[in-house]
Structures are given as C-alpha cells and as structure tokens.
Chains A and B, each alone.
Chain A
C-alpha cells in the first residue's frame, strides 16, 4: 500500500473520531452548523463537477435538490405523519403506505434526480454557455412550479412538515467523505480528463474523439445524483421543506461556494463550503441592531455576501485554490521547506 493512501485512511479515521467526540459533546446549534457544512460540501462538489470541471454553466441545482429532498422526505415519513400533512387533499394511495429506511431513500432520491437530469439534459445540453444557464435556471423554476401545483404528491405550497430528522453528523460527514472519494476518483479517471478537455475547448475535445453529448450528460447526471442526495440530507436535517426553500437563492449559495473555492478544485470547494456556511452563521449579528439608537437592518448579512461574491469574481477570479488540489506530497514539501516554491516535480 502506498504511503499516501495510508495517510488518507488515517486522516479519515481521525475525522471520524472527531465526529464521534463532536457528536457527544457539542450542543445542537453547533451540530446543526457542522451538518450544514458537510451537506454544503456535497452540494458544492456536485455543482463543481458540472460547472467547474465540465464547464457547463448550469443554474438548475436547486431543482435537483428539491427533487432529492421531496423524494427522501416522502419515502421516510411514517404513515401517520403523511396523513397529518396531507389534510387539504389526500396523498395518492401509491405513496401513502411506503416507508423506507433512510439509506435506500437517499440513494433512490439521487437516482430519481439523475434520471430527471438525464431527461432534461439530453435536449438542453446541446445549448452552450448563456443559453444553457438560462435553460437550466428555467428548469429549476419549473420544478418549483410543478411541486407547488401537485397538491396530492408534494402537498403543494404547504410543504412537508415533521419529516423524521434522521440526518446527523455520521450521515452528513459520511456522505461528504464518500462524495469526495467518488469525485476525486472520477476526476482522475479518463472520464475526468474528458470532462476537463470539454471545459477547455469543446471543438478540440470533439475532434480528439470525445463524445460531447455522452460526457456532458454523464457529468450532469452524476452532479444531479449528488445534488439529490444533498437535498435529501438537508430536508431530513431541517425536518420541514416547502417549494419556496428551493428558490434561486439556494443555487446562488452553492455558486458562491464553488466560486470562492475555485471552479475546478475539490479541495477549494470543501474549504469554502465550511467558510461560507460558518460565516453565514457568524455574520448573523449584522442583521441585528449594532449601534444603540440605529434600528436593525435585516438583510445586511446577505448584502455582505453579495459584495463578497462580487469581490471574489472581480479581484480573485480563481478563488482560493484555482484548479489546484491538496496532496500529501505538496504538504510534505511545504513542511520541509515552507518558503520554497511548491509545485509538481
């Protein structure tokens, strides 16, 4: 076994020990934030695969998350809770008595998301750049409109409440580690190189024999799969979902994460998922009254975040990491000679 693999396994082991300690010592508020960090890592990675690695500017992420969250919630809710939720119009009989455990529900949610991504992607991915952005944005909105109107399946605008809150640190961090593993393996495979070549130059990639359609749809579907799982984790963490949760703002938050971390860097996404999620909580004081006599300005926090995104795009276009990645070798070089220039040797 290679040395680096051992390091990685050791790091994951230490992470899980930390999770164990955190789970038993920290209060529920901090646990909630940590859960969100891990879930946003999953979501950021899935969006980065589509936008950062394959170069498809997709803005439909909230739509896939909505699909995942609804599928997971509907599959895991006990029969009694379903009856309580659907008081306006009864739920369709097909869904009424299904109760699945969490893991199969999550995976099923991911698969449904991926299938929808395939159905949407097959026609839409022929479009380029801006058109793709607006079409996928449109798709995200359509999903929301559909969910608001299908009263007997999704409970419409009322949303679903009392979803079993199964998600805990083990689920969220477990999924995050699994997602990182899959993403890193995928990106270093021949598929990953094909994705990157499509990002760099579509025409050149196609003339080298890479099937644009196949790889674009594949990247889109895998991204949607993890977005669905992330959405499912989020729904079962918060315990209540409604269509308004999955507005464009949700996509925007994830976009902020991948832009800040660097489009095309797994490491960057992980770091910035934590930074963005934690700072969104830390900066909550901005919404409250700070100076006596001056009334509180609710929403100031989001202004700060919009300025942050603008600043990153305008002045640090490559984000924290650009397309660079963490590796044990680089760390070792850095530890030996902190001031020497790193790089691939």
Chain B
C-alpha cells in the first residue's frame, strides 16, 4: 500500500470516527444519567437526516436554514421521546425501560417508513462540503476535514457546558446520585430533558454530516450506526464523554483500516465492532476511560 492510499484511508477513518464520536456522546450522556441504553438514539439520528432532507428538498430552504431547523427539531424529538417513553416508567425495573426504548426505536423506524417511504432517497450534495481537494496525489473530500473540526469544536463547547455551567453541574450531580441530587434542589426532570436534548442535537449534527458523506438515506439507516456508536461508548468507558469520543475514533479508524488492509474480510466489516465489544467487555468491562465501580449489596 502506498503512503498516499494509506493517508486517504486514514482521512476517511478519522471522519467516520468523528461521526461515531458525535453519536456516541449522546449514548454515554444518557447512560451516565439514567443507566439506560437509549436504543432510540440511532433512530433519532436517522430522523435528523430526513428533517434536513425535507427542509432542503421539499421546502426549498437554503442549506444552512434547513440544517438549523433539522437540528432544532431533532432536539425537540429527543426530549419528546424521553417525556413519553421513559419518564412514566422511570421508577420501574430497568428491563421495562430497556424494552420501552426498543419500542420507541421500532416506532420511530416504522413511522419513518410510513411517512418518508421505504425507498432510499438521495441526500442533497452541497458543493461547498462535498467538493474534492487535491493534496499531492491524495484526493480528499472537503467534508473529511470539516467533520473532525466541527466534532472537536462541539466537544469543546460540550465540555464547557458540562464542567463550567450550572446545568452541567446539575447533570453531573444527577448522574452521580439521583436521589441526593433531588434533595439538593436539582430539578431532575429538567436536567434529564436537557441531557436528552443535548445528545439529540449532537446526533443531529452527526446525522446531517453523515448524509453529506453517505448520500443514500433510508429509514433503517440509523440501526447499524446506532449500535456501533453504543459500542464506541462502551469501549471508551460508558458515562465518560471523552471516552465516547476516543471509542468513536478507535471504531471508525479501525473499521476503515481493516477493510483497507484486509479486503478479503470486508464482508465482516459490521462484525468487527461487535468482536471488539466482546473483547473489551471480557478484558476491561469498564472501558478505556471508565472508573471501576464496585457493587454494593
């Protein structure tokens, strides 16, 4: 393999990894606060892509307006899912919430099939993002540079939000101890809604960039990235935002390089992340950045 080709693959891997990271943050924040795998997260991501698609194509908005509208709608959708599907059974056994989240995921998928149609649609190609740049012999989409930059910028904002603001402090308090946070006067419901909204916003940004990078969109497109990003969150150490980002990059780069170096295994691309997951769970169940929690009886 030539150096040029390797760099090209690496650029692809980094941008895929950034997208995974953006979605994984949503999983890790929700898990940190509710101890729940939000199975619907991948479908919220899918909805964001469709919102942007319809804003741009059907309603003829300029791309930046349609993207902002899509991101806002997705945030509202995330909060709605939490309010309708998770809040009423927050006190129930964990398994009920998990089933409810599977139900929510399935509902969103089927609604998307009914409303948007089951056939793949083509996401608009906006020249500003999708043009190729040539550096030496390497051809790289502008998007491949933009995605990591946007991801890092958002991560920076998110870190500020979590560590320096009052809402961020409330989030950290609720994730440490639900009951005590409540006693200390934290509005738990609002904090959880805020977390879901924030996670959905990031998923929406990831989704729109995903649509620009992989233009064929369909109602079930959220399933695989959804599961993979949860895996990324677990690899990084679930509940830890930085960990989710690291996990996302490991998964994205690993997946692309696996296909690049061992083309014979390209059919097993989707299995790669699951094997990685099982290995991580067996040897370091708390993930790369996770803290060890001992079980209290």
Spell out A's residues near B (CB within 8 Å): 51, 55, 57, 123-124, 126-127, 129-131, 133-135, 137-139, 141-142, 145-146, 148-149, 203, 248, 252, 255, 259, 263, 297-300, 302-303, 305-307, 309-310, 313-314, 317
Stretch at the interface among B170-178, B179-187, B245-253, B266-274: B266-274
Residues of chain B within 8 A (CB-CB) of A306 are 103, 106-107, 110
Query: B279 → chain A, closest Cβ, in Å?
Result: 10
A313 touches B274 (CB 8 A): no
Contact of A313 among B96, B281, B282 (CB under 8 A): B96
Contact of B107 among A57, A263, A303 (CB under 8 A): A303
A203 touches B99 (CB 8 A): no
Query: B284 → chain A, closest Cβ, in Å?
Result: 12
A314 touches B85 (CB 8 A): yes
Query: A7 → chain B, closest Cβ, in Å?
Result: 34
Which residue of chain B has the shortest Cβ distance to A306 in the bound complex? B107
Residues of chain A within 8 A (CB-CB) of B277 are 134-135, 138
18 residue pairs of the A-B complex, CB under 8 angstroms, read A134-B37, A135-B281, A137-B227, A138-B277, A142-B275, A145-B270, A145-B271, A252-B102, A298-B113, A298-B114, A302-B110, A303-B111, A303-B114, A306-B103, A309-B106, A313-B89, A314-B89, A317-B92
Residues of chain B within 8 A (CB-CB) of A255 are 99, 102
Query: B81 → chain A, closest Cβ, in Å?
Result: 11
B297 touches A203 (CB 8 A): yes
The answer for the CA separation of A314 and B223 in the assembled complex, in Å, is 23
A309 touches B103 (CB 8 A): yes
Query: B97 → chain A, closest Cβ, in Å?
Result: 8
Query: A40 → chain B, closest Cβ, in Å?
Result: 17
B274 touches A317 (CB 8 A): no
B295 touches A203 (CB 8 A): yes
The answer for the CA separation of A197 and B245 in the assembled complex, in Å, is 39
Interface string of B214-243 (1 = CB under 8 A from A): 000000000100010011001000000000
CB-based closest 5 A-B pairs: A138-B274, A306-B107, A299-B113, A149-B267, A310-B103
B96 touches A317 (CB 8 A): yes
The answer for the CA separation of A106 and B88 in the assembled complex, in Å, is 44
B113 touches A313 (CB 8 A): no
The answer for the CA separation of A134 and B96 in the assembled complex, in Å, is 15
Query: B288 → chain A, closest Cβ, in Å?
Result: 15
A307 touches B92 (CB 8 A): no
Which residue of chain A has the shortest Cβ distance to B100 in the bound complex? A313
Let me know if B104 is at the binding interface, CB within 8 A. Answer: yes
The answer for the CA separation of A142 and B269 in the assembled complex, in Å, is 10
Let me know if B278 is at the binding interface, CB within 8 A. Answer: yes
The answer for the CA separation of A130 and B107 in the assembled complex, in Å, is 20
Let me know if B262 is at the binding interface, CB within 8 A. Answer: no
B103 touches A300 (CB 8 A): no
The answer for the CA separation of A107 and B118 in the assembled complex, in Å, is 38
Known: A135-B281, A149-B267, A313-B96. A299 touches B110 (CB 8 A): yes
A148 touches B267 (CB 8 A): yes
Which residue of chain B has the shortest Cβ distance to A311 in the bound complex? B103
Residues of chain B within 8 A (CB-CB) of A130 are 31, 35-37, 94, 98
A127 touches B89 (CB 8 A): no
